[in-house]
Structure 1
Amino acid sequence: MAAGVQRVLAKCQKCIDSGNFYEAHQMYRTLYFRYSGAKKYAEAIDLLYNGSQTLLHHKQYSSGTDLALLLIDVLNTAKTPVSEDNTDKVVDLLRIMDNNECPDRLNYLNAALRWTISVAPECRAGHPDLHKKCGMLFWQEKNYVQARYHYLHSSDGKNLATMLIEYQTSQGYPSEVDLFIAQTVLQFLCLQNKDTAHVVFVTYTKGHPDVKGGPPYIQPLLNFIWFLLLALEGGKLAVFAVLCEKYQTAISRDPTYKEYLDKIGQLFFGVPAPKSQSQGGFFGNLIQSLLGNEDGEENSPMTPAMTPAMTPVTPSTEQRNLSQVDLD
């Protein structure tokens, strides 16, 4: 079989050298079927990766993407575990797929993420290592929305914070300095990634040229996020409730914040999910939880150190909605 494969590969290279890319594509597929039939999955992966890379470099985007999708099929069929080498292969092919010429580029990426979920089901949104590499790639392409999405499903808070600073300073308004990081931290907390939420907040606030000093900060919303991260350590519902009440004006700048905080309350502070909208919404649900709490420990007052900086000021009315993550 090895000798036969080498002969086909030699013919395939001649086709590529002569510009006969259609014939080369068919030869790659023929070898793929041979390897798959013999369950030589490692050889099939290398073949498809090299073939896809070759065709894509020659701007044969349709044929190259076809082989890339077959590569993901083999990873699935072989139940290949996520590794540095395999995720590098996936992202290398994604990098050389022209965004305008490869309509299946997004389908390819989604298929790759589904493969990582199938072999690592604990990663419900896809493996964080693949998301991290995709985040870096889209950041290099200045596709900040896609980069932000993938970084949210990784654990790379430092690079995400650096990307957000670049994103905000190049495309955001001065009044949105706090909005960019606030939504990101809240989304990380909804994904129960408390450690990365803390890293991205600290890195962003220390590195952003328009965030002066702190904590405490000039921007009330930044103070709210800072206190929220501190409150998570204690897990006391009374602290969370008073914090949200004191910063109600800052929280109201973006209607999605209350949805995130409702989820955070359920995840970290034992707030029950609201049964209906008639209960008074987010703040009404918090009050109901406090009144119905029979544990005296939860009703302890806030520490003096947290009280003085909780007086909010009227925030800027400018805001911009960023992409959301699934709260389920």
Structure 2
Amino acid sequence: MQSFFEKITSLFSLMSPASPEREVFVQSALKWSVKGTDYKTGHPDLHQKIAQVFWREKNYIMARQHFIHSRDGSGCAAMLVELHEQRGYMNEIDLFIAQAVLHGELAVFTILCNRYQISLNRDPYYRQYLDKIGQLFFNIPSPRPRNQGLFGSLLQSFFNGLEDDDSDDEQRNTASTSHAAQELD
């Protein structure tokens, strides 16, 4: 099977990174690689080889995505260090490493969020990202909206009023349609 993975990644590396067929090729190869296995997202060895191709191309985002599904923790760490050196600030190394470990079990996710809260608070968008990760991967309900002040409350009331008007119109349309249908009978 390894020789097939090498052939697949060799073909993959020859394809232009801008080619839309490339993504279809990868998805088809990963789907094929799970046949007869217990893997759901693709064989980890194939993910590793694909990640290495993306890494050579300096496509760190896609490399990280495939490394996470591989069993190559040291390769993933080395790529994250390079990503940090290329695109990060010296004081952000913990954030780059945290990216790779935030997808797992809910208990681990919660512990990591609490443990690295000081680091995560440096960027206000991280809270939003973590909320979204919690919703998508762990079925955590979305956070309740915070007090938005007078203007925010007015806007919310306005939008709620529009939704109520829409539902009233919908009920009237349903009622008039059923009344018209009865008259035709």
TM range, smaller chain: 0.5 to 0.7
Q: Does 1:90 align with 2:8?
A: yes
Of residues 30, 46, 49, the one that matches 1:133 is 49
Taking the aligned partners of 1:274 and 1:131, their CA distance within structure 2 comes to: 28
The superposition leaves residues 56-107 of structure 1 with CA deviations (integer Å, 9 ceiling, x where unpaired) of xxxxxxxxxxxxxxxxxxxxxxxxxxx111111111111122334x441221
Contact 2:41 2:69 in 1 (8 A): yes
Q: Map 1:113-128 to 2 at 5 A.
A: 113-120=30-37, 122-128=38-44
Look up the SS of the partner of 2:130 in the other structure: helix
Percent identity over the alignment is: 33
The superposition leaves residues 119-148 of structure 1 with CA deviations (integer Å, 9 ceiling, x where unpaired) of 33x322111110000111111121111111
Q: Does 1:108 align with 2:28?
A: no
Structure 1 residues 251 and 108: alpha-carbon distance in aligned structure 2, compared to 1, 3 A threshold: same
- For 1:154, the aligned partner's letter is S
Structure with more of its chain in helix, by fraction: 2
Contact 2:131 2:142 in 1 (8 A): no
Of residues 58, 61, 65, the one that matches 1:145 is 61
Taking the aligned partners of 1:186 and 1:279, their CA distance within structure 2 comes to: 24
Contact 1:186 1:261 in 2 (8 A): no
Unmatched runs of 5 consecutive residues or more in structure 1 = 1-82, 193-230, 267-272, 281-328
Shift of 1:277: 4.0
Taking the aligned partners of 1:276 and 1:146, their CA distance within structure 2 comes to: 27
Of residues 130, 145, 151, the one that matches 1:257 is 130
Shift of 1:274: 4.7
Q: Map 1:67-216 to 2 at 5 A.
A: 83-100=1-18, 102-120=19-37, 122-187=38-103, 189-190=104-105
Higher relative contact order (CA 8 A, sep 6+): 1
- For 1:88, the aligned partner's letter is E
Taking the aligned partners of 1:176 and 1:116, their CA distance within structure 2 comes to: 36
Look up the SS of the partner of 2:16 in the other structure: coil
When the two chains are superposed, the root-mean-square deviation of aligned CA atoms in Å is 3.3
Contact 1:97 1:105 in 2 (8 A): yes
Taking the aligned partners of 2:71 and 2:16, their CA distance within structure 1 comes to: 28
Taking the aligned partners of 1:147 and 1:186, their CA distance within structure 2 comes to: 16
Structure 1 residues 248 and 138: alpha-carbon distance in aligned structure 2, compared to 1, 3 A threshold: closer
Look up the SS of the partner of 1:104 in the other structure: helix
Q: Map 1:268-283 to 2 at 5 A.
A: 274=140, 277-278=143-144
Unmatched runs of 5 consecutive residues or more in structure 2 = 147-185
Structure 1 residues 248 and 106: alpha-carbon distance in aligned structure 2, compared to 1, 3 A threshold: closer
Look up the SS of the partner of 1:119 in the other structure: coil
TM-score by length of structure 1 reads 0.37
How many residues in Structure 1 have an aligned counterpart in Structure 2? 141
Look up the SS of the partner of 1:154 in the other structure: coil
Taking the aligned partners of 2:98 and 2:116, their CA distance within structure 1 comes to: 13
Shift of 1:262: 7.7
The superposition leaves residues 8-29 of structure 1 with CA deviations (integer Å, 9 ceiling, x where unpaired) of xxxxxxxxxxxxxxxxxxxxxx
